[in-house]
Amino acid sequence: MLVLVYLSNRSLLSQFSAGVYNVTIMRVLVVEDEHKIATSIKKGLEQEHYAVDLAYSGLDGFDLASVELYDLIVLDLMVPGMDGMTICQRLRQHGNNTPVLMLTAKSQIEDRVNGLNCGADDYLIKPFSFEELLARIRALLRRPREVLNSNLVVKELTVDTQSYKVARGKVVIKLSSKEFALLEYLVRNQNKILTKDVIIAHVWDYSADILPNTVEVYIKNLRDKIDVPFPNLPPLIHTVRGFGYLIGDST
């Protein structure tokens, strides 16, 4: 049985009050052949404001892990199609350095050592409590692969990814959680052209119901809040016809 949990900056679930957003920009992929366990983990993590995708075989999990961008893997040893160690080894061979939490019913030291040697970052023996799983996930997520600046700036626009406050000049701008996720992704990639597919892959869940005009709708929402109210300032969000969108300089 394998549980693969991936978390990524491609999704955004939030609670907010008094205009301050409490946002977790994390995405979870659970690869588990026992549907009851997978569903239980999914529900638990969603209650902690993670967005969760499910796969029920090692092959499906490996395929998703190979083509999607995630931040954490919780990986058990046994699953149909491809076992956990093989998945971990192949991901590492392909340059995927996502942190791995190995999850297994095997308690022998040799099994744990083998799991760590194949590229895992931590080990959790079953049975375990959800609280311990969550604590280990959070601990691994506190080991960032790269330090991301929490104060982002594009000309007069400032985005604070810790307090989730946005302002243009001295004017505070209130955004929905998804609008904030989209804006953060645009700003972290300022002056780069981003296609609709790339934006969807980084901002929405894999299983989210995305309509053909979803990105256009959210881009328009951002423009209505970031550009339209400031007619004396140059627009920040630009459409590059036939390619996608960028924030920053249009030239």
Residue tagged 């297994």 (tokens): 104
pLDDT attached to residue 23: 39
Alpha carbon dihedral 194, 200, 201, 205, in 10-degree steps, equals: 160
pLDDT attached to residue 176: 92
What is the value of pTM for the model shown? 0.51
pLDDT attached to residue 6: 45
The burial class, CB within 10 Å (0-12 / 13-18 / 19+), for 25 is buried
- Cβ-contact 144, 196 below 8 angstroms: no
- Cβ-contact 119, 126 below 8 angstroms: no
pLDDT attached to residue 145: 57
According to CATH, the topology of domain 4-141 is Rossmann fold (3.40.50)
Q: What are the residue ranges of CATH 1.10.10.10 in the chain?
A: 151-247
pLDDT attached to residue 12: 35
Please tell me the distance from the alpha carbon of residue 103 to that of residue 59, in angstroms, as a whole number.
Answer: 17
Structure tokens at 178: 């998804």
Please tell me the distance from the alpha carbon of residue 10 to that of residue 187, in angstroms, as a whole number.
Answer: 14
Structure tokens at 23: 């946002």
pLDDT attached to residue 57: 86
pLDDT tens digits for the chain (251 residues)?
444 544 444 433 333 333 333 333 577 777 778 788 888 888 887 787 777 778 788 898 898 888 787 777 778 778 889 988 898 888 778 777 777 887 787 766 777 777 777 888 888 787 888 999 898 888 877 776 555 567 889 999 999 987 889 999 999 999 998 999 899 889 988 888 999 988 887 888 766 778 879 999 999 999 999 999 999 999 999 999 989 999 997 65
Q: What are the residue ranges of CATH 3.40.50.2300 in the chain?
A: 4-141
pLDDT attached to residue 175: 95
- CATH architecture of the domain with range 151-247: Orthogonal Bundle (1.10)
Cis geometry, peptide bond prior to residue 231 (ω within 30 degrees of 0): no
pLDDT attached to residue 18: 32
Please tell me the distance from the alpha carbon of residue 220 to that of residue 216, in angstroms, as a whole number.
Answer: 6
